[in-house]
Structure 1
Amino acid sequence: MEETINVLRPKRKHSLNTEAEQPEPHKRRRRTVESETEPLTRQPDPSSSNRFRLLSCPSPKKETQSSREWVCNSSTSSAYGEKFVVVSYNILGVENASNHSDMYNNVPPRYMKWKRRRRLIRKEVKSYNASIVCFQEVDRFDDLAHKFRKDGLEGVYKARTGEVSDGCAIFWKQDMFSLLHQESIEFQSFGLRHNVAQFCVLKLQDQLESDVPPDTSMRPCTRSRSLVIGNIHVLFNPSRGDIKLGQVRLFLEKAYKLSLEWGSIPVIIAGDLNSTPQSPIYQFLASSQLDIQRHDRRRVSGQIEFESQYRTFTYNRYGKPFFYRWSAEEVRLATGCEEVTHLQHHLKLGSAYLGVPGSRRTRDRCGEPLATSYHSKFLGTVDYIWHTEELVPVRVLETLPIDTLKGMGGLPSKRCGSDHLALVCELAFRR
């Protein structure tokens, strides 16, 4: 029988009650510039960072060396078509911050004030010259929309179902994109909790379209210059890998369907997946398939660390993999059918940060950021930007080294308006 799960007031921010090993200290080295960027071996390694751990935060210190640097792709610029900047940002909902104040004991109260955080978030997004922004944990949308509209950004919002007030929002630069279509998923309709996802089909403005005769059926560059943007905030609960997989599965299915409906256009996936780079959920996104029987439901997101004697695969005396038992209901939630245990999606996705090699001070052995979120009970990566092969990452904004983050004592901070770091990448259409 399934274990009892408290679903009335789930703790949605990243936290665990178990102690885990601390990351190895980083070696002191010179500030990294593009010519010094070290290529990384992109093999998942569970022993590397990006793990959920209970942290003992030092007292906040004066922020130093907290600037983030752009790292560029080595490909020649001739391979790029039109470029645009995408931001994915969990901005820490006001209600979540209030309900889980124990996670911010090391953060000065003034840094938690919404007006201050909103000002920092707006200033930060503006500094990136963002073309498309995907926000998670938005519970003050009208407030945000009013401010961003002054910066030339228009947006749409999808609130969570249930009692929790936050949701997801997508903004785009009005003079660069036009909205062709929008829709959303309420996962509660599928028995998958109150999380939501949203989609926008955006078309890059084409100045040449005015030269096309009005009586012709020609639609220049429509196929290659339109995009599906998907934004999601996956369930936090670490032990409910079945529900997490179900949400991600439906999300990817809808993104693929929209891509086909609009002429097989490129897809961008952004959001807080509440899953680490070493997790089976990450593997599912990257490889397009996953056999759920080979994974413990409680470890699907990589959030729960077991004692050393537990392994992802258990072998019997004949050396064959042990297949974990999933109840019929868990299988149905994860795959959509009680008889199906093998998941597959049809999008060929690449991670934007994985596509641009970075520094070992900020990347794990997979090539993903070491940390995209930090507070007193969590340090690790759960945020991502994915894209289909019609797009190429031109450059990404590096995150911060672990020692720099720890020197802050926690997020939000003097210069950061959330407990997450914004992920920022410049993408281009392939020529």
Structure 2
Amino acid sequence: MDRNTNINHVPAHGQVDPSMLRLPVTALGSSLFPRIASSSSPHFIRHLVSPAAPPFYPWYTATTLPFPMSPVRFLYSGRGFGPNFRQICSTNGLRMERREREREPPFKRRKSSEERPKLENTKEKTHNYKKDSGLLDKSQAGRYFSREKDVDRTKKVQQANMEEEVAGSNPRMTSIDDNQAQSNVHVKPLHRLWELAPPCRSDTTPPPGVSVGFDFTVMSYNILSQDLLEDNAYLYRHCHPKVLSWEYRLPNLLQEIQHHNADILCLQEVQEDHFVMQLRPALVALGYKCVYKKRTGYKSDGCAVVYRKSRLSLLSFNPVEFYRRGDTLLDRDNVGLVVQLSPISDPASSFCVANTHLLYNPRRGDIKLAQLAILLAEVNRMSRLPDGSSSPVVLCGDFNSTPHSPLYRFLTTGHLDYKFLSIGMVSGQEENPGGHRRLQSPLWSESLGISSSCQYQEKNHEGNEDKTKVKNQEKCAQSSKPQEETQQKTEEPASNSPTAVEGAISELTVEDLVSKTTEDILHRWRIEHHLNLQSSYSHKLSPDGRDEITTCHSRTAMTVDYILYTPDSPVGPSSSLLPGGRGLQLLGKLSLVGHSELEQVNGLPNQHHSSDHLPLLARFRLRQ
């Protein structure tokens, strides 16, 4: 196209208006044809195939030409266009690019961080000179001051990023000067104090040099599996990526464990490969022995119970799997671990430690109760002593239930009436859970072999054998009795005869019938256990009474982790004391924090705390 051609030229009478010939095109293979073609334009066709360059885009149909000629071939020939145009044909249509001199300027390289301060200093001097000399008008001054705000905001963001990159006590992070680190780091670790428990009523001052019991500390800690962290990355968008890497988190976790120096560690979400290759060797070097149980199925994490070998010895242990093949209720891969430990200083005494991680799903409280029943049944069996009494119990773990939930009340009170209870309300994780499906009775199948008291039932065939033995003994006794007594019994009405039934009913009052029916109904919709458990935490901060928090991420902040124990004194009117006063006395605990304290450290995890859970720590005394 000639540069001097006027694109706004109006053709004379008898000529074709170029704007009327720019019709929509349809892609057919490698050629483009207009939807509408006029056969009454011989002048345009003769002009199109003439050697002269056309003054506009030649949209036409090839079938109207006097000889076979493709429009794309004509456009590609370059006869009608100058060297400043590139012909591009695709199935999406035909377009003509702009001239070379009208194209966008090449991409300019961004200046490095070392070059920016020089440029900013130069501009700042220039603007200061203009501002001082009065050469800046109001509009320019406004732009200048907004630029200052942008620079300040950018500096603040860079400073915040630098604070996150500073690795406190982690040697793996980029090393910087101590003065620069102190000036950049403003996020301090959480301030947690050791709180002493109130004195127990049965406390007595021991004579000098005489020990009243075995003191030990227990830690419960969900260390956040790396696979689960990466699978649920949306929960940790508030965290800097560097603090989420396992290379950064592992030294922090080990340092935290070594700092608290607990005698027993109950760990959850322990990834198997990290446990075998890194955690277990490090814990063994610290003087611990480990028992581990991986989750069933394809899950990569599990639970671990770690104890100090210089103070405790392992008597027995049993891993607990909640998955049951063919059971639609127990189809999840959560596990538990129950161990029996004994103090080396007093081999005659022992206590039971259980660790678990229940299902997370807030709307499946029925599964959580069934999993908990299996764990409590195993704890009841492991804590049973040969003389028929029970040893003290320490139950730790992530129960995924809040302190005001029915599941927590079941643990601490020993019973739960679940009639008309919605499945989504069992754990208390959601204030308004979706769905209104209620718990059914019984909660779990009878084939599980666990009663409503969370204890293992005897096998049916053994029970049948016992019943048959009793019946045979009764028959032998009856045959050996004198004939007169047998005749007297035959004269008496049978117990299932109509007269006997009428007599028994006549002796019962209306109140007896109502109370018996109510008791049967309540027992049908009730589960219970007899472990007499109490929480080592009150779940309220003193003195303001705010809620304690054990886990925090971008979606929630609440208490779901617990250390429960068997006290040496009854908790309530329905509680019972273990024989011989073999319960545990709570001596102290590591305080927790509230929501405001976690907001100050940007939630969990952060550069000081490498898990989305806080460790719980309690100290107990086992009386000898």
The SS at the match of 1:154 is strand
Offset, 1:116: 2.0
The SS at the match of 1:236 is coil
Structure having the higher Rg: 2
Report what 1:392 is aligned to.
585
1:404 partner amino acid:
E
1:292 partner amino acid:
Y
Report what 1:318 is aligned to.
none
The whole-number CA distance in structure 2 between the counterparts of 1:294 and 1:373 is 30
User: What number of residue pairs does the alignment pair up?
Assistant: 339
Offset, 1:170: 0.5
What does the per-residue CA deviation read over 1:374-396, in whole Å, with 9 as the maximum and x for residues that have no partner? 01011000000000120011010
Unaligned segments of structure 2, at least 5 residues:
1-159, 165-184, 207-211, 453-522, 568-582
Check conservation: 1:195, 1:235, Cα contact below 8 A: yes
Unaligned segments of structure 1, at least 5 residues:
1-57, 207-219, 313-323, 365-369
Report what 2:281 is aligned to.
146
Matches within 5 A, 1:217-232: 222=348, 225-232=349-356
TM-score by length of 1: 0.73
Check conservation: 1:362, 1:399, Cα contact below 8 A: no
Q: Which has the higher contact order (CA 8 A, sep 6+)?
A: 1
Matches within 5 A, 1:92-103: 92-103=224-235
Offset, 1:329: 7.5
What does the per-residue CA deviation read over 1:17-65, in whole Å, with 9 as the maximum and x for residues that have no partner? xxxxxxxxxxxxxxxxxxxxxxxxxxxxxxxxxxxxxxxxx99893236
The whole-number CA distance in structure 2 between the counterparts of 1:363 and 1:387 is 24
The whole-number CA distance in structure 2 between the counterparts of 1:272 and 1:405 is 19
Matches within 5 A, 1:16-35: none
The whole-number CA distance in structure 1 between the counterparts of 2:219 and 2:604 is 19
Tell me which protein shows more strand as a share of its residues.
1
2:364 partner amino acid:
R
Distance 1:168 1:126, change over 3 A: same
Check conservation: 1:184, 1:196, Cα contact below 8 A: yes
Report what 1:429 is aligned to.
622
Check conservation: 2:365, 2:427, Cα contact below 8 A: yes
Check conservation: 2:541, 2:593, Cα contact below 8 A: no
Check conservation: 2:441, 2:525, Cα contact below 8 A: no
Counterpart of 2:341 (choices 174, 189, 202) is 202
Report what 1:371 is aligned to.
549
What does the per-residue CA deviation read over 1:138-161, in whole Å, with 9 as the maximum and x for residues that have no partner? 102112111111110110110001
Counterpart of 1:272 (choices 373, 398, 409) is 398
The whole-number CA distance in structure 2 between the counterparts of 1:154 and 1:337 is 34
Report what 2:578 is aligned to.
none
The SS at the match of 1:189 is coil
The whole-number CA distance in structure 2 between the counterparts of 1:387 and 1:362 is 23
The whole-number CA distance in structure 2 between the counterparts of 1:121 and 1:413 is 12
Counterpart of 1:326 (choices 419, 431, 439) is 439
The SS at the match of 2:408 is helix
The SS at the match of 2:407 is helix
Check conservation: 2:442, 2:524, Cα contact below 8 A: no
The whole-number CA distance in structure 1 between the counterparts of 2:218 and 2:451 is 35
Is 1:345 paired with 2:529? Answer: yes
What does the per-residue CA deviation read over 1:238-289, in whole Å, with 9 as the maximum and x for residues that have no partner? 1111100011111112111111146521110000000000000000000000
The SS at the match of 1:421 is coil
1:428 partner amino acid:
R
Check conservation: 1:91, 1:135, Cα contact below 8 A: yes
Is 1:67 paired with 2:191? Answer: yes
The whole-number CA distance in structure 1 between the counterparts of 2:587 and 2:540 is 11
Offset, 1:326: 3.1
Offset, 1:102: 0.6
Offset, 1:67: 2.0
Offset, 1:430: 3.7
The whole-number CA distance in structure 2 between the counterparts of 1:234 and 1:150 is 30
Offset, 1:115: 2.5
Check conservation: 2:189, 2:601, Cα contact below 8 A: no
The whole-number CA distance in structure 2 between the counterparts of 1:81 and 1:337 is 35
Is 1:235 paired with 2:359? Answer: yes
Distance 1:101 1:362, change over 3 A: farther
2:528 partner amino acid:
Q
More displaced stretch, 227-236 vs 329-338:
329-338
The whole-number CA distance in structure 2 between the counterparts of 1:170 and 1:78 is 33
Offset, 1:336: 5.5
Tell me how large the CA RMSD over aligned residues is: 2.8
Report what 1:282 is aligned to.
408
The whole-number CA distance in structure 2 between the counterparts of 1:78 and 1:414 is 44
What does the per-residue CA deviation read over 1:371-424, in whole Å, with 9 as the maximum and x for residues that have no partner? 100010110000000001200110100112321101222211111110000000
Matches within 5 A, 1:27-426: 62-64=186-188, 66-75=190-199, 78=205, 81-139=213-271, 140-142=274-276, 143-189=278-324, 191=327, 192=330, 193-206=332-345, 222=348, 225-261=349-385, 264-306=390-432, 325-327=438-440, 332=445, 340-354=524-538, 359-360=542-543, 364=547, 370-389=548-567, 390-426=583-619
The whole-number CA distance in structure 2 between the counterparts of 1:100 and 1:129 is 31
Offset, 1:294: 4.1
**Identity value in percent:** 33
Report what 1:9 is aligned to.
none
Check conservation: 2:393, 2:565, Cα contact below 8 A: yes
Distance 1:331 1:253, change over 3 A: closer
The whole-number CA distance in structure 1 between the counterparts of 2:595 and 2:223 is 20
Check conservation: 2:406, 2:426, Cα contact below 8 A: yes
1:359 partner amino acid:
S
The SS at the match of 1:188 is coil
Check conservation: 1:246, 1:336, Cα contact below 8 A: no
Check conservation: 1:73, 1:357, Cα contact below 8 A: no
The whole-number CA distance in structure 1 between the counterparts of 2:551 and 2:599 is 11
Check conservation: 2:189, 2:609, Cα contact below 8 A: no
The SS at the match of 2:192 is coil
Distance 1:69 1:361, change over 3 A: farther
Distance 1:77 1:70, change over 3 A: farther
Distance 1:394 1:155, change over 3 A: same
2:214 partner amino acid:
E
What does the per-residue CA deviation read over 1:96-130, in whole Å, with 9 as the maximum and x for residues that have no partner? 00000010001111111113212111111111121
Distance 1:168 1:277, change over 3 A: same
Offset, 1:132: 0.1
Offset, 1:341: 2.5
The whole-number CA distance in structure 1 between the counterparts of 2:566 and 2:419 is 27
Check conservation: 1:331, 1:340, Cα contact below 8 A: no
Distance 1:148 1:119, change over 3 A: same
More displaced stretch, 274-283 vs 259-268:
259-268
Distance 1:361 1:408, change over 3 A: farther
Report what 1:38 is aligned to.
none
Distance 1:83 1:187, change over 3 A: same
More displaced stretch, 340-349 vs 69-78:
69-78
The SS at the match of 1:409 is coil
The whole-number CA distance in structure 2 between the counterparts of 1:183 and 1:330 is 24
